[in-house]
Every structure is written in structure tokens, then in C-alpha cells.
Structure 1
Amino acid sequence: MNLFTELRNLVVAELGAMAASGALPEGLDLGAVTVEPPRDAAHGDMATNAAMVLAKPAGMKPRDIADALAARLATDPRIAAAEVAGPGFLNLRLQPGVWQGLVKAILDSGANYGRSDLGAGQKVNVEFVSANPTGPMHVGHVRGAVVGDALSNLLAFAGWNVTREYYINDGGAQVNVLARSAYERYREANGLEPEIREGLYPGDYLIPVGEALKAKYGTSLLDQPESVWLDDVREFATEQMMQMIREDLAALGVRMDVYSSEKALYGTGEIEAAIETLRGMGLIYEGVLEPPKGKTPEDWEPREQTLFRSTAHGDDVDRPVMKSDGSWTYFAPDIAYHYNKVRRGFDQLIDIFGADHGGYVKRMKAAVSALSEGRVPLDIKLIQLVKLYKNGEPFKMSKRAGTFVTLRDVVEEVGADVTRFVMLTRKNDMALDFDFDKVLEQSKDNPVFYVQYANARINSVLRKAREAGVAVDDATLAGAQLDLLSHPAELALVGKLAEWPRLVEIAARGNEPHRVAFYLYELASDLHGLWNRGNDEPSLRFLQEDVTISQAKIALARSVGVVISAGLAILGVTPVEEMR
């Protein structure tokens, strides 16, 4: 039940009737007509921009359209008042029965309240994390993992068919470095002094890998040339790292549907097929790029390369796909990988990248646009850095990782639920400060606590009611005498609940799961506000001596709990029933 959609349908129907009667020109485009919460709650429950956006194409004054539309809307039984303000803004006030009916609808729908068919079952691939398989996940990966997983939950809630995918970057030089690093730990496991020279991975996390190599190979690889052991050790160490990464993701509550390997693209014809497809479109050619900005002719060596004409699909410059020595660039397997996703039949692709991949956005979008012939949109979300603080100071590196703070460090310190919620308290393209002390403090300034405390308060009401012998199951509460909810503060809280289905669709359209966290904080604030008013106005307390009144008020509290639980589920956070 989306009240904003229902009221927009009403507005559109009345505009159609006005056109049929000659009060408006026929054939007006009503796509830009909206019904949304007013900027100032004092102005009403909802507002429509209909008169403002239709005035110019209709050749009429907005006020004239608004006056005529207001008169028609006022006859609908759901509308208490339709008021024109300023040059043509139209504010709507709804009858109390609309809000009271919404409480019943929420309790009847339960966790499905706010679900949408917006996605219409379209297949969307969300690729996220995709960390190099060279060590444990660090705090930067945490944020990308949470954003990707919450976005996947959100899109599924809004009607998309979602596939979560991890792209294993196991085709580059970094996995050879991993193999050499693991080999030194293998030597150490055999009683030799490891040579962790510059450029190798120094973290202690490779010690168990060395021991596992010893268990498998004994001493047979010692004193052998690299050519003998590199391939086997690389494959073994990569799988060990991927197992560690899977465990890290599980600790954060993240599961992947698909793991795809970059290495699997080589030698299979996948890269060649993607490039030849582009060549068939006239988008591959041999050429020389202009010098990069800031380069002078003296320090720039022009050379002929195989180029992708990415400028034909919105990029700033064309991009090399093959080096002058005949080897593929890093971009070529990424083209092939995305071509693979297009051929798997996805209707939409979403990539969650670190902020350092900003220069990759236009070229990757150009490749997908070309390979899908414009059919499959690609949205790339860049994840900005996370700065860690503890005791007022920057949090230092992990000894186990050697150079960075790991996902496990964060989760073990504050828990997965707190970690996930906090990572969504800023939009993905904004830097985020993660203070280990503040995320655990019990105050309004801590959004995790504030939302969980609201849910705990609601559950305390339900427990006390049960202890008093009051029936508070959802079916009973949905049948309560809800017209007893008549105080403006109570109806305002229901008004906030009415925004949930609309918020879900807005967040899903923009691929912005952080909006859910923001909304939950606002909803919790409204619940706490009503609770605190009950300290001064006993009639607003959720528990009353009269059972009939109690059940109506508890129905309101429970409906808030339904939405909080649904929102936390999208964020991947477990609702707390009792604060300790």
C-alpha cells in the first residue's frame, strides 16, 4: 500500500477529467506530476506540483489550474482539505481515517509492507568487493561489501531479480607476488629463514599458508627454481586467500551467488571474442593516442596500439586494449568479463568500485554500452575512504595484516550489525569517519543505538502488554479500534510510516541504500518523540488502563516495529528486542 502512489493516481485522474471537460488542453504530458511530502509539515500531509509543471505547456496560470484541481480533489472522501498556496502550490490534508487504515494495512502486510514490483522481475547483476585475492579484506572492502549487499537486498525488496557477484582478480601480476610471498612462508615452515624482501606481502596471515604448503609438498619444493613451483603455489595460495575472504564476508553477513575468475578468461577465447565483437562494430582500430595531459613531447613516446573507440560511447579518449608487444591491457579482460555478464542476460549491471577506480568509470560504461548495443545500463558506485578512530586517535595498522586494518579487526571490535549500519550512514561517494567509541555509545548521536533503542522500546510495550493479559498479536491489533488514534502526534507518526514504500522506490531507483538508514533514524526519532510526550501527556502513552485504547495505541507502536524490522533487514542488521 503506497499512499503517495494512490494520491498521485487520484491527481492524474482528476487532471484527465479536467482535460475531458475542456478545463485543460488534451494531450498534456503528466509524467512530471508528483505527489510527495511537503517541505514543511505544517502545510499539510502531501503536496502536488501538478499546477506548476503543467502551466507552461497548458498556456495557463498555475494558480488557475491549482484552484480548479483543488475543487475536484476536495470531493474525494480521503481528502480533508485541498489548499492552494503561493502561485500554485497545492497542499493536501488527509482524513484521519486514511492514517488509521494505514496502520491496519501495515499489520496485515507485515514484513511485506513497502515491497514493490518496481523492478518487474528484471535481472540485475551487482558486482561488489572483488578484492585482490592476496590477503584478508581491509576496512575499505568492508564499506564496499556492506553497500553492495544492502543494495542487493534493497533491489530484491523492490522487485528485481538480483545476482550478487564477486570478480576474482587472479589474472594479474599481484598473484605472482602472492605466490612468491607464500613460498617464503613455506620455507619458514620448513625451518629456513624467510626472505620477505621489498615488494612481497609481509603479513602474518601467510604463515598458515606456508604450513599448508609444507603439509602438501613436504620439502620437495625447496631449492627448486621458481619456474618449477610458481604455478602450483600461485593456485594453492589463491584458493587459500579466497577461503579467507569467504570467511571474512560470512563474518559480515555477506554471501555471494557467483564467484567469477579473471584468470579463467585467458586462453579460453573470451577476451578475443569480446574484442572481435567490438571490431565488428568498427570500434577497434590501430592508432596512436595523444599525450596525456601534462606530458611534453620530450617525455612522451608515441606508439601504435590496438585501441577501443570508446569516445563513440561517451568516453573522453579512446582506450588501449592491446599493448604494442601484443599482450592484453588490464582493460581487455574487464571488457570480456562484462561482455560475459551481458551475454548471461542481465537487464542491468551495477559495479561497486573503490574511489581509486574513478578513472575507470567512463571507459567501462562505454564498453558495456557498445557490447549491449545500448540495451544494458551500467551504474558504477564509487566507495570513498573510511577513516578509523579509537580513543580520539587514528586507529593503527593490524599486525596480522602487516599494513592495514582488516575486516575482522572491525567486526570483532564492534560486531557485524554495528559495522553494517555505520557504513551506511553516509552516501557511498562521501568519506566516512568510523569512531570505535562513538559507534558503541548509547546516545541520540549514535544512529545504530537510536534505531535499535526504538525497536527495543516497542518490544518492551508488547512484553508488558502480554504480561498484563492483553492480546497483542498482529491479527488482533489490526482489528483494534484504530479510530481511537486521533491525536495529531499519533497521526504524524503514521504519516512517517506512509513514506516507507515511497522511500524504498526512490532508493532503489537511485541505487542508494543509505537512504534506508537515514529514514530509519528519522522514524526512530519520531517514535522516541511520541514516547517522550507520553511522559507529560498520559493519554499518549502506549499502555493504558482501558484495553481497547491500549490495543489501538500498541497497534501504532507495532506498525513502527514492522517497518524498522523491514528496513534493518535491507541493511542486513538484526533488530534488537531488548537493550542491555
Structure 2
Amino acid sequence: MTDGPINLHADFARVIDAALEALVAGGTLPAGLNRGAVTCEPPRDPAHGDLSTNAAMVLAKPAGTNPRALAALLVAELEKEPRVVSAEIAGPGFINLRLTDDAWRGELALIASAGADYGRSTMGGGKVVNIEYVSANPTGPMHMGHCRGAVVGDALADLLAYSGHKVIKEYYVNDAGAQVDVLARSAHIRYCEALGHDVGAIPEGLYPGDYLVPVGQVLAAEFGDKYVDAPEADWLLLFRARAVAAMMDMIRTDLATLGIRHDLFSSEAELQASGKVDAAEAFLRAHDLIYDGVLEAPKGKTIEDWEAVELPLFRSTKFGDDQDRPIKKSNGAWTYFGADLAYHFQKAQNADALVDIWGADHAGTVKRIKAAVAALTSADGAAPKPFEVKLVQMVQLLRDGEPVKMSKRSGNFVTLSDVVDEVGKDVVRFTMLTRKPDAQMDFDFAKVVEASKDNPVFYVQYAHARICRNIAKGAAEGFAPSAENLELLGEEELALVKLAAQFPRMVEAAAVAREPHRIAFYLNDLASGFHSYYNLGNDRPEKRFIVAHDSALTAARLFLAAQIGQVVKNGLAVLGVEAAQEL
């Protein structure tokens, strides 16, 4: 639950808890029952009431009674609460509550007093969550294949911080694999080109993008022709380090266009050089979680084309994986899994929970890395640290329904910065959260900027812009928002308050589920409610926000509009999106 200003849903969760305590004190309910599954939330059908609780449903069995009997006792306690108009038993034992209008008017005033903090929670209790996201290979600029995971990870980090967690935003720099050697060779080509050598077409297998031209020019200015004809061994490590550093500068700049800034960049090369991978192996061997063995032949392989080799194997089957996994190759080099295992061991030293945001193409490695984290964090008898992997599907880029051509600068993909330059940071960020991350997504340049209710980005932003416009219009006509006459707000206006009041519980639910897209979905519902009410004024002038002949009603409705706008703004801020003042 939240601390500080108590929102209505959280407050009524306490009311329900107090009612249960009264039953315990009266001897009709056993003490010590686990109430962790008790909920207080809006019923699915608003016609059934304002709030619903499953308390009798989940506590009846451990209490040795039936749900409806317990519900009847609980209803009698809940009806003592002054803000409860009625408490009714529904179905097998749910309890639906109807609240006074003043309860909702009080929530509207709470939104105004809390302002930017309305919805902020301390439920995280300051626990440290490490979120690793993007982690693209440092071989070129960010492209739209990285965009969705970047936005999901960043929005999740902001959501968890907003809900009371301490968050570490981490980027894992994969600078120890073969791809960075390819990068170094590609940079060498551009280095020679900068010195006036005719390099012809970029050889197949190297990176062809123009983004390496400036890297080659810098190397040429610094080293002259020293490495033009030198053996690769003389320049490979040097060029690799310089090229990776240049690419990471470019990546940081690209991410900044989306408002993304990581707290920590961890190098795979430094991890291996520091001996931490060896240390992780030693730790696991000491706990009999690594042994030397031979893998089964891969399916479809015959004895003639497969050789049995003894390798150090991690007992991942002990933690739910399909087979034990090698941490080293036959040449003694670390496997990707071996390095990742040590990297997660490093992350777990400084966090209470870990979250990785991966592309869906990495789904096959989820089991093994989950097994590794469980082993590493529980080997000494502790409970395994919570670890989740969120898989993100690719985004298909379209323009008026047709696939978008590749970027000339990158060579073979569309750059993130080009997309942000065209449609804007806020459009990109919000769009990436309009579907669940594991669902396929089309990003059509024409549709994401379309001024239409079918475009959720525009729809939510237009709600906030409409509110700003009405408040400004009211000011021009001598009206200002005021909480003095909120009793003038009727059923249709209070329906908007009920929607807005769901924001704090939505924040907590989204944080628990690690699903920031829930906030985007909620904002769309809130915007829909606002637009529906606003449109009533088209045919019913008395329903407009500004009623010229009634200053008290106008002030109350402008106050309502301002608080709906505040909730929209708060929700957008959680997603890293600025609320539009005008459209």
C-alpha cells in the first residue's frame, strides 16, 4: 500500500482490514489468517458498485466457514463505515460496496493536493531492482530493432522507481565476442580510406555503414599510415577498443534522443579480464553445481561428424532446464552462457531482484540463465533472488502500409535517431507501449502521427491538450478552477473521478507485474472517459465545462478537468512522455 496521502482504494483496503480485525476481536474469525490474497478493487461491471472485495471468498476455507456466511458478518462491519452507502453480497461471496458521492469528491481534492505525487507509492520499500535493457552489440548506431526493448525497459525502470523501488538501469556491453573483431576490421578499412587508399566495396562480412567513416578519420589523424600495411595482430586490439568506445558514444547519443540514460555500463571484456567468470565457476564447483562431463550428441548428428569432448557443465537441469549447459568451449574460451552466468552473478551482488529485457529471438536461453541465477543466489542456503526475463517482439516499420526501406547511413537497417527525428520522442515511446511486449507490432509512420481517436498516442495527448485549452479559455472569460462547490458535480462528472482514482492501484499492479504497458492502456481508458464526457456538451450545452451563466458550476468542472489532466500527466510521466499542452 501507499504511504503519505492515502488514495481511496488504498484507504478502503485498510477499512476492509479493520473490519476483519473487528471480526477477529469478536471471536467470529480466527486470528493469524493470511490476508495476502484479499483484494479491494473496482468490480468488473460498474453497475455492481464502486468497490469489490474477495475477502470472504479467500478467508472462508481457512476460517472453517462458508464464504456467504463470512460475507454476511463482514457486510455488517463494513456498513458501519460512514462513506459506505451499501454493502451487498454477490455470487458465492464477493462483497460489492457503493460509496457516497462525498467519498469521490474527497478523492478529487486529494488529487489536487498530491499533484505530481498522486499515484506515487512506497510499496517497493526501497528494494533494489537491477533492470538490464537494450544491451545492443556495440557495432553501430541504435536501430529500430532495439527501440521497443529500450522503451519497455526504461518505462519499467521509471514505473518501479515511482512505486518505491530503488532502480539500477544497466547496459551490458558485449565487447568480448567475434563481432567486435569484425568491427575493428571494418574500422581499419575506413582508416585506410581516410588516408586516401582505394578500398573499393566493403568486403562481405564487415560492417558497411557510413557511421564508421568518422572513426576511420580519427584513427588516421592519430596514427597516420602506421597501421595501413601492418599485420592485423599489431592493430586489432587497439582498433577494437577505439571503435567500441566510439560506438558506445554513438549509442548513448541515440538513446538520449528517446530520453534514455543508463546508470551503469558493464563491459563483458572487463568482466572476463577481472577473473569474475573464473570466480563464478569456482563458486559453483565448490557447491557441486559444475562438473566435467560430455554432452549428448546433438540430434541429427552421427558419430562421424560429432566428437565427444569433456567440458565443464553447469547442472542447470537441477533448476528446471532441459539439459546441463557447458560454460566453456573445447578451445577453453568461455561460452556466451558462461560469461552471462558470471555477469548475472555480478549483478546479483548489488540488487534484491533482477529483470532482463530481451528480444524474443533469445527465448531459447531463458531457462538456462534463470537456472544459473537461481543456483548462484541460493547456493549458500538463501532463497533465490527474484529474476525475470521479459521478452519483446520485433517491430515492423511501415509507411502507409508498405515496408520502410533501409537507412543509407547504417547500411542495412533503419536508425532509431532517424525515426525519432521524424515523429518525435513522445510518439515513439508511447507507441511502443500500446501493445503487450510479447505481441507483434507494426509501426506505421503515417498512423502514429494521425490526428484520430484510433491513434492512442494522439487520443491521450489530445485529452490533456483539451483540458489545457478549456482551462485557458475559462481564464480568458474570468473563470478559474475551484474546489469550493464540488457538490455541484453530478453522477456523470463523478464517473470521471472514479476512473482517475484507479491510477494509484494501477501503478502498483503494473509494478508488481513488471508491465508498464498497463499504464498506457489505463491512460487510453481515462482519455476515452474524458472525451466521452466532453462530447456530451456538443448536444447538451449545460454539460460543457464552461457554463457562462453559472460561475460556481464552471469553477467546479474546471477543477475536475484540471485533476483529470493531472492524472494524465502523471501517467505519461511514468512512461517518460511529456503531456502535450496543445495539439
Q: Per the shorter chain, which TM-score range?
A: over 0.9
Establish whether residue 110 from structure 1 lines up as the match of residue 119 from structure 2.
no
Q: Which residue of 2 aligns with 1:492?
A: 495
Distance of aligned partners of 1:71 and 1:409 in 2 relative to their CA distance in 1, 3 Å threshold: same
CA-to-aligned-CA distance 1:106-144 (integer Å, 9 cap, x gap): 000000001000111111111111110101111121111
Query: Which one of 293, 296, 305 corresponds to residue 287 of structure 1?
Result: 293
Residues 7 and 110 of structure 2 are in contact (CA less than 8 Å); yes or no, is this contact kept in structure 1? Answer: no
Q: Which residue of 1 aligns with 2:234?
A: 228
Q: Which residue of 2 aligns with 1:350?
A: 355
Residues 507 and 516 of structure 1 are in contact (CA less than 8 Å); yes or no, is this contact kept in structure 2? Answer: yes
Structure 2 length-normalised TM: 0.95
Distance 1:396 1:168 in 2: 28
CA-to-aligned-CA distance 1:487-511 (integer Å, 9 cap, x gap): 2111111111111010000000111
CA-to-aligned-CA distance 1:456-506 (integer Å, 9 cap, x gap): 01101111122123334xxxx3x4222221x21111111111110100000
CA-to-aligned-CA distance 1:539-579 (integer Å, 9 cap, x gap): 32211233222221111111111111111111111111011
Please give the residue correspondences for 1:93-492 in structure 2 after superposition, counting only pairs within 5 Å: 93-194=98-199, 196-295=202-301, 299-343=305-349, 345-373=350-378, 374-472=383-481, 477=482, 479-485=483-489, 487-492=490-495
CA-to-aligned-CA distance 1:175-197 (integer Å, 9 cap, x gap): 00001111111111122222521
Distance 2:253 2:123 in 1: 34
CA-to-aligned-CA distance 1:405-428 (integer Å, 9 cap, x gap): 111221122111100000011111
Please give the residue correspondences for 1:471-550 in structure 2 after superposition, counting only pairs within 5 Å: 471-472=480-481, 477=482, 479-485=483-489, 487-545=490-548, 546-550=550-554
Q: Which runs of 5+ in 2 are unaligned?
A: 1-5
Structure 1 length-normalised TM: 0.95
Residues 179 and 230 of structure 1 are in contact (CA less than 8 Å); yes or no, is this contact kept in structure 2? Answer: yes
CA-to-aligned-CA distance 1:386-411 (integer Å, 9 cap, x gap): 01110221112112111111112211
Distance 2:315 2:240 in 1: 35
Query: Which one of 1, 6, 23 corresponds to residue 18 of structure 1?
Result: 23
Establish whether residue 55 from structure 1 lines up as the match of residue 60 from structure 2.
yes
Distance 1:291 1:378 in 2: 31
Tell me the SS of whatever aligns to 2:262.
coil
Establish whether residue 37 from structure 1 lines up as the match of residue 42 from structure 2.
yes
Q: Report the number of matched residues.
A: 572
Distance of aligned partners of 1:483 and 1:292 in 2 relative to their CA distance in 1, 3 Å threshold: farther
Distance of aligned partners of 1:41 and 1:234 in 2 relative to their CA distance in 1, 3 Å threshold: same
Tell me the SS of whatever aligns to 1:508.
helix
Distance 1:29 1:203 in 2: 60
Q: Which residue of 1 aligns with 2:555?
A: 551
Distance of aligned partners of 1:229 and 1:27 in 2 relative to their CA distance in 1, 3 Å threshold: closer
**More displaced 10-residue stretch of structure 1: 2-11 or 509-518:** 2-11
Q: Which runs of 5+ in 1 are unaligned?
A: none
Distance of aligned partners of 1:294 and 1:104 in 2 relative to their CA distance in 1, 3 Å threshold: farther
- Between the aligned residues of both structures, percent identity stands at 57
Query: Which one of 554, 569, 572 corresponds to residue 568 of structure 1?
Result: 572
Distance 2:418 2:578 in 1: 20
Distance 2:61 2:565 in 1: 45
Tell me the SS of whatever aligns to 2:327.
strand
Q: CA RMSD in A?
A: 1.6
Q: Kindly provide the amino acid, as one letter, of the partner of residue 388 in structure 1.
A: L
Residues 347 and 377 of structure 1 are in contact (CA less than 8 Å); yes or no, is this contact kept in structure 2? Answer: yes
Query: Which one of 13, 22, 27 corresponds to residue 8 of structure 1?
Result: 13
Q: Kindly provide the amino acid, as one letter, of the partner of residue 205 in structure 1.
A: Y
**More displaced 10-residue stretch of structure 1: 144-153 or 223-232:** 223-232
Q: Kindly provide the amino acid, as one letter, of the partner of residue 549 in structure 1.
A: L
Residues 480 and 555 of structure 1 are in contact (CA less than 8 Å); yes or no, is this contact kept in structure 2? Answer: no
**More displaced 10-residue stretch of structure 1: 36-45 or 546-555:** 546-555
Tell me the SS of whatever aligns to 1:208.
helix
Cα displacement (A) at 1:25: 4.2
Distance 1:30 1:330 in 2: 44
Cα displacement (A) at 1:26: 4.3
CA-to-aligned-CA distance 1:58-101 (integer Å, 9 cap, x gap): 34332222233223212211111112223322211110001000
Cα displacement (A) at 1:533: 1.2
Distance 1:200 1:385 in 2: 24
Cα displacement (A) at 1:293: 4.5
